[in-house]
């Protein structure tokens, strides 16, 4: 059995940990509230833009000739992997890196052998893990710390330029989509070329209204597509940030609860050890007194 001093030291250590995890839980809860409001506010705007895009593009027969719609044989692949800059958020980062490895091995093993799979990591943790095995051509940490639209939109524009210049034949994003503070869902979305949902198109065609467009549909599409792609990428960053804070808040909440349970066990063990020490001292006193009588 551990000594009273050892148990006291452990109780002090667990109490310190409990204070830290409790404080981190409160900080993450405050950050989550702001991030959650941002993503919830942006989703209707993003969805409406996508609806407008589908409405216009469904009636244009030659949109495949447009650079961002052009489908090519996927020889050169670029994956955008979004993680966090910090740990202590449960399996938030490890699940993304594991899913990235699985996805590459299952879908792009041939391209990987030919060194035609590149990664851009947004978040420090993803870079640290994935650069050991894959070609990480660039990484960004500020997007996570300061979720401002303009720098993220500029990055999205460079992705469009790389696709138009045929640096890559397919660009995909792997990230955590925010569902609620306790649930994050890993999503793998094709960013470029733009892929439309045939089922959605059919439904929209049935309800299509013959609008008069000014400028023409093609010109309007050229103006809208870059804006929609920038908004879409900004939304994935906000989703990931909200997911990170939700995962960290949940993780710190569990750690705090575990510390409380461990403190109960340690205090019980301390009381038992203290009672045993008192009993031994009493036995020694009684034994000494009996020996003096004899």
Active site members: 89
Residue 85 buriedness (CB in 10 A; 0-12 / 13-18 / 19+): middle
- Please report, for residues 97, 131, 155, 178, 208, the alpha-carbon distance to residue 125 in angstroms, rounded to integers and kept in the order given: 9, 10, 20, 19, 46
What is the distance, to the nearest Å, from the Cα of residue 269 to the centroid of all Cα atoms in its chain? 40
- CA end-to-end span of the chain, whole Å? 34
Sequence-distant (≥ 6) Cβ neighbours of residue 84 within 8 angstroms = 92, 93, 123, 124, 125, 144, 240, 244
**Which residues make beta-bridge pairs with 2?**
none
**CA 249 – CA 247 distance, rounded (Å):** 6
**Which residues make beta-bridge pairs with 192?**
171
Sequence-distant (≥ 6) Cβ neighbours of residue 145 within 8 angstroms = 85
Angle at 39 between CA 230 and CA 151, to 5 degrees: 35
Helix axes 198-206, 4-57, angle to 10 degrees: 50
Count each helix (H run) and each strand (E run) in the chain, helices first.
8, 5
């Amino acid at each position: 059995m551990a000594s009273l001093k050892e148990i006291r030291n452990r109780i002090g250590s667990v109490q310190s940990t409990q204070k830290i995890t409790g404080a981190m839980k409160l900080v993450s809860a405050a950050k989550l509230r702001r991030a959650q409001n941002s993503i919830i506010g942006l989703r209707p705007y993003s969805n409406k833009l996508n609806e407008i895009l589908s409405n216009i593009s469904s009636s244009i027969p030659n949109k495949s000739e447009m650079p961002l719609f052009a489908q090519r044989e996927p020889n050169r692949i670029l994956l955008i992997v979004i993680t966090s800059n910090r740990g202590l958020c449960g399996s938030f980062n490890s699940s993304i890196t594991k899913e990235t490895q699985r996805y590459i091995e299952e879908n792009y093993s041939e391209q990987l052998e030919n060194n035609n799979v590149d990664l851009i990591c947004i978040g420090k943790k993803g870079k640290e893990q994935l650069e050991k095995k894959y070609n990480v051509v660039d990484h960004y940490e500020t997007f996570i710390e300061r979720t401002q639209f303009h720098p993220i939109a500029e990055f999205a524009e460079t992705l469009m330029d790389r696709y138009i210049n045929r640096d890559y034949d397919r660009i995909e994003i792997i990230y955590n989509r925010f569902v609620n503070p306790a649930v994050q869902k890993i999503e793998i979305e094709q960013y470029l070329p733009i892929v439309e949902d045939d089922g959605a198109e059919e439904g929209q065609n049935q309800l299509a209204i013959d609008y008069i467009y000014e400028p023409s549909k093609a010109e309007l599409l050229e103006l809208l597509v870059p804006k929609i792609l920038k908004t879409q990428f900004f939304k994935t960053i906000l989703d990931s940030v909200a997911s990170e804070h939700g995962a960290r808040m949940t993780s710190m909440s569990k750690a705090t609860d575990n510390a409380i349970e461990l403190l109960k066990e340690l205090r019980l063990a301390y009381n038992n050890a203290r009672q045993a020490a008192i009993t031994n001292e009493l036995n020694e006193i009684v034994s000494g007194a009996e020996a003096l009588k004899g």
